[in-house]
């Protein structure tokens, strides 16, 4: 027990968190200071210092004010700590107890929580642990209520972030809603156009920088009329570009609750699983159309690196789309330059097997195909397909549906049977696990047998749950076929009169093209070329 002293060096500690602001003036910083300094004067303690944390939660002791207070107590600069109540000092009952029960008595520092009647100079502080526990419970309860309110707003499509996404600004009528910021919306459209052409994220960032377009953070401070004091290079980068091009806000959807804190005690931000995201569609006017979004999303799925044409920033026409039919490697872009007496300088563009280019004949043959005949072949095939759709769309639709049905019917039937059996086994495992626990409690199952069976059941449960998710996804993909066919028909009919291929058309229509090696049969040269179209030729 601490001995009574007359000459105290008092450390007054006051704290206000953002949650406390809702409680009004009674817990304000100034109110706490006034109450505690008045108490010091009444006790005749005139030697006091004030430590303050404003806008900081009491669930953590990583606060500058309280850290300095404890450091000064250890150094003997203060020997009495005075707070309004225990919750001001902290809401983590374990850490509060460590300070009040162990550290402060050990260093000879008295602790007083005025409104709670806690004074470590007395021995009758049995109620203090319960007050600490209640304060932590209250903090946890407050955190849950705030989270529930935020989630309710998110489910209504109300924006809860601090910064409005680039390309939008807050509505003057409702700060939780967006309207298009036409001053920069065209930059967003430009980014999606670049991506649709097959440009990579870093390449797009470079083009935006070359055009001297302000990145989002710089534009924000420009519109606010304030200076950005952060240490940044004031340039676009591939991370920013990637996040924007994958943000559904630009098609009019609000997706929130993607990140959150680990707990009400630990404020470290973590990514949440996708099933916890809150998505509300059509909450505001989109900047880009769904065709553009789908084309860019399809490009993300390809996961291929597209090389630029030599001496330019543009990807080659078929870059990333060609595969060797024999070994499966991507085809590599090549240029040949020749000088002729009459024609002069001529450049020939071709593609060859990437495996052959790297390792020679031991790996594969060259499979060289020149750009011009390949372009003519692909353009003819696209126009032929588009013409068939215009002439008899119902027939093409029926053929595609029948083709899909043949591919999927047998597999879907088997998947449904497997899914039903797997879900039945999962229910059995749940019953077996429950019965196993009951037998253990009754003492009819030895501990070793219990642990062995429980491990076995849990391993099987995890395996079966994974299988169920996989089967459900496959069946959902099958149900998507009809929608995909309609999208394919809408896409291809646009190109019936197209005179020349362009990169955007190829990425919209074609998944990949297989290039066979040149051969000869009955004196005739031939080559197999198989075009796999998006939406209707998903395999591979």
DSSP string covering 23-71 = G-GGG-HHHHHHHHHHHHHHHT---EEEEEEES--TT-S--HHHHHHHH
- Reported in sequence order, the residue ranges of 365-516 that DSSP labels E, i.e. its strands, are 369-370, 510-515
Q: So what's the architecture of 168-301 in CATH? A: Alpha-Beta Complex (3.90)
Please choose, from the candidates 104, 272, 288, 333, the residue with its C-alpha nearest in 3D space to the C-alpha of residue 188: 288
Q: List where CATH 3.40.50.1390 sits in the chain.
A: 9-125
Using one digit for the tens of pLDDT, what is the confidence trace for 251-264?
Answer: 999 988 887 665 54
Produce one character per residue of 35-64: b if its CB has 16 or more CB atoms within 10 Å, e if not.
ebbebbeeeebeebebbbbeebbbbbeebe
Residues of the chain with pLDDT under 70: 1-6, 18-27, 93-94, 123-147, 149, 231, 260-269, 302-314, 407-411, 476-480, 538-540
Report pLDDT for 473. Answer: 75
Q: Is 214 helix (H, G, I), strand (E, B) or coil?
A: coil
Using one digit for the tens of pLDDT, what is the confidence trace for 151-194?
Answer: 777 788 888 888 899 999 999 988 889 999 999 999 999 999 99
Report pLDDT for 528. Answer: 94
Using one digit for the tens of pLDDT, what is the confidence trace for 381-429?
Answer: 999 999 999 999 999 998 888 887 776 666 677 788 888 898 898 889 8
Report pLDDT for 240. Answer: 93
Report pLDDT for 145. Answer: 63
C-beta of residue 527 within 8 angstroms of C-beta of residue 517: yes
CA dihedral (383, 389, 395, 398) in degrees, to 10, reads 90
Residues linked to residue 254 through DSSP beta bridges, in sequence order? 280
**CATH class belonging to 9-125:** alpha beta
Please choose, from the candidates 90, 22, 16, 18, the residue with its C-alpha nearest in 3D space to the C-alpha of residue 59: 90
Read off the DSSP letter of residue 282: S
CA dihedral (85, 87, 92, 94) in degrees, to 10, reads 20
Q: List where CATH 3.90.1750 sits in the chain.
A: 168-301
Complete edge-to-edge strand list for the sheet that includes strand 529-533: 322-324, 510-515, 529-533
Report pLDDT for 130. Answer: 46
pTM of the model: 0.49
């Amino acid at each position: 027990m601490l001995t009574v002293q007359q000459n105290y060096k008092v450390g007054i500690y006051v704290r206000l968190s953002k949650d406390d602001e809702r409680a009004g003036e009674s817990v304000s910083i100034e109110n706490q200071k006034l109450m505690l300094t008045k108490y010091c004067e009444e006790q005749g303690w005139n030697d006091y210092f004030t430590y303050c944390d404003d806008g900081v939660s009491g669930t953590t002791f990583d606060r500058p004010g309280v850290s300095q207070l404890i450091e000064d107590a250890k150094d003997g600069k203060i020997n009495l700590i005075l707070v309004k109540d225990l919750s001001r000092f902290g809401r983590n009952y374990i850490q509060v107890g460590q300070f009040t029960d162990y550290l402060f008595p050990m260093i000879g520092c008295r602790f007083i929580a005025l409104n709670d009647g806690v004074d470590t100079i007395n021995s009758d502080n049995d109620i203090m642990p319960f007050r600490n526990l209640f304060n932590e419970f209250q903090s946890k309860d407050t955190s849950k209520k705030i989270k529930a309110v935020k989630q309710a707003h998110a489910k209504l499509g109300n924006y809860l972030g601090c910064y409005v996404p680039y390309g939008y600004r807050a509505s003057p009528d409702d700060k939780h809603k967006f309207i298009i910021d036409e001053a920069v919306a065209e930059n967003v459209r430009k980014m999606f156009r670049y991506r649709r052409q097959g440009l990579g994220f870093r390449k797009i960032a470079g083009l935006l920088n070359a055009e001297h377009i302000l990145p989002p953070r710089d534009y924000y401070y420009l519109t606010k009329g304030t200076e950005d004091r952060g240490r940044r290079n004031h340039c676009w980068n591939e991370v920013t570009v990637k996040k924007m091009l994958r943000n559904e806000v630009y098609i009019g959807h609000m997706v929130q609750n993607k990140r959150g804190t680990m707990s009400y005690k630990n404020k470290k931000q973590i990514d949440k699983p996708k099933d916890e995201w809150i998505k509300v569609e059509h909450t505001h006017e989109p900047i880009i159309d769904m065709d553009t979004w789908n084309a860019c999303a399809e490009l993300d799925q390809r996961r291929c690196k597209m090389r630029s044409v030599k001496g330019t920033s543009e990807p080659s026409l078929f870059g990333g789309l060609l595969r060797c039919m024999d070994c499966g490697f991507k085809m590599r872009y090549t240029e040949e330059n020749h000088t002729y007496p009459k024609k002069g300088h001529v450049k020939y563009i071709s593609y060859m097997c990437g495996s052959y280019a790297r390792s020679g004949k031991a790996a594969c043959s060259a499979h060289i195909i020149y750009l011009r005949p390949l372009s003519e072949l692909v353009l003819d095939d696209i126009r032929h397909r588009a013409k068939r759709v215009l002439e008899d769309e119902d027939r093409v639709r029926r053929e595609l549906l029948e083709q899909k049905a043949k591919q999927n019917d047998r597999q879907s039937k088997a998947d449904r049977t497997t899914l039903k059996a797997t879900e039945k086994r999962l229910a059995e495992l749940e019953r077996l696990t429950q019965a196993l626990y009951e037998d253990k409690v009754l003492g009819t199952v030895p501990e070793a047998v219990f642990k062995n069976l429980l491990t076995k059941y849990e391993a099987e449960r995890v395996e079966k749950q994974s299988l169920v998710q996989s089967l459900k996804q496959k069946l959902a993909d099958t149900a998507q076929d009809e929608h995909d066919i309609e999208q394919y028909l809408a896409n291809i009919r646009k190109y019936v009169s197209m005179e020349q291929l362009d990169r955007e058309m190829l990425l919209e229509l074609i998944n990949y093209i297989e290039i066979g090696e040149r051969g000869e049969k009955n004196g005739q040269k031939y080559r197999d070329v198989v075009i796999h179209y998006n939406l209707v030729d998903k395999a591979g």
